[in-house]
Structure 1
Amino acid sequence: RFDNRQLLIKLLDPLGFELKEAANGLEAIAIWEEWEPHLIWMDMRMPVMNGYEAVKSIKSTTKGEATAIIALSASVLEEERSFVLSAGCDDFVRKPFREEVLFEKMAQHLGVRYIYEENVESQSPPEEISLSVLESALRQMPRQWVVNLHNATLEGDVRVVTEAIAQIPPSLSALQTTLSNWVNQYQFEEILELTGLIIDN
């Protein structure tokens, strides 16, 4: 998905990695053949040619064996992990993904190390709102809206998630601010946990 590609680029570009993006499996193979990257983040659901076919094509070559491929999938089924690994992927990350998980996987497969900048400015941390207060606010939104937000988060569709948050009325500004902060900080699991409280009841 375009949103997922943009999210990855937003995360990785400031760190100095050389990046190229592909809209489908055929483009991924063409870029890999020309560019020979060290690592590929492969979305398993793509148009024209899906990730499974692209991975099998790349890994069927000697050159492809030297390229680490990490699958990105929104599936919550444990069987999905087995499928992508048997297709030739070296690792698996579920969407929506956490920033720290991406960095950990890249360190594992590329051997990179990160130097973290210390924040010397003393800033007061934003006041945290309890989960019960957020749940109470969320229950004031239509149930279908909550379901749509939950599903869009599962799919990693940042655009739809952002548009949904923008629909929250001013009277629930604390909920809107918290959800927006979670999106900006890639804390999608918190959104799923919160919306799950409504959907599961």
Structure 2
Amino acid sequence: EFDGIRPHQTIILAMIPSGSEKDKQLALSAGCDDFLYTPFPEDELLDKISEYLKVQYQYAPKLLSQPSGFLNHCDSAAVTQPLVSATPLQMMSLEWVEQLYHAAAQCSDRLLLQLISQIPAEYESTAQYLNHLVDNFRFDLVMEWAKKPEDSANNIL
């Protein structure tokens, strides 16, 4: 008994594979309030949160609150694609590349991070780049990097 006070309704956002109209309709018919296609940019999720929870974000002014070396650190190999990097097939087995591709296709950050941890130390910049993609939900770019396993197999010949 809330004496005239209604409890807040829980908002449900479905996260569905990009371009899957069937999954979109299924999610909405199951009672989801809205959906996001995966992978999605961080600001798209924040926009949905703002829309449904009626919140407004306040952001710190850029660079004013950051230490002087912060910008240089952000521009490091950890967040940019390695300029010189071996192709996936040169540094890892075809089976590993296939597992990486399929883990990215499933948006499985846990499995991706396990696979990335197997990259040899001499390819640390590549591992950092892939970790950055996973941390930012850019599974599409991981898939692009790994290519489709069928395409990769053809490239060996």
Normalising by structure 1, we get a TM-score of: 0.56
Distance of 1:167 and 1:194 partners within structure 2: 16
Seq. identity, %: 30
Counterparts in 2 of 1:77 and 1:186: CA distance versus 1, 3 Å: closer
Calculate the aligned-residue CA RMSD, in Å.
2.6
Residue 130 of structure 1: how far off its partner (Å)? 5.6
Unaligned runs of 5+ in 2: 1-6, 152-157
Counterpart of 1:33 in structure 2 is none
Counterpart of 2:87 in structure 1 is 137
Counterpart of 2:136 in structure 1 is 185
- Considering only CA atoms, is the larger Rg found in Structure 1 or Structure 2? 2
Residue 91 of structure 1: how far off its partner (Å)? 1.0
Name whichever structure is richer in helix by fraction: 1
Counterpart mapping for 1:1-201 below 5 A: 38=8, 66-74=9-17, 77-118=20-61, 119-120=63-64, 121-122=67-68, 123-124=71-72, 125-127=75-77, 128-129=80-81, 133-134=84-85, 136-140=86-90, 141-195=92-146, 197-199=147-149, 201=151
What residue identity is the alignment partner of 2:15?
L
Counterparts in 2 of 1:88 and 1:70: CA distance versus 1, 3 Å: same
Unaligned runs of 5+ in 1: 1-35, 39-65
Would you identify which runs of 4 or more consecutive aligned residues in structure 1 move more than 6 Å? none
Q: Return the structure number with greater relative CO, CA threshold 8 A, min gap 6.
A: 2
Normalising by structure 2, we get a TM-score of: 0.70
Distance of 1:117 and 1:200 partners within structure 2: 46
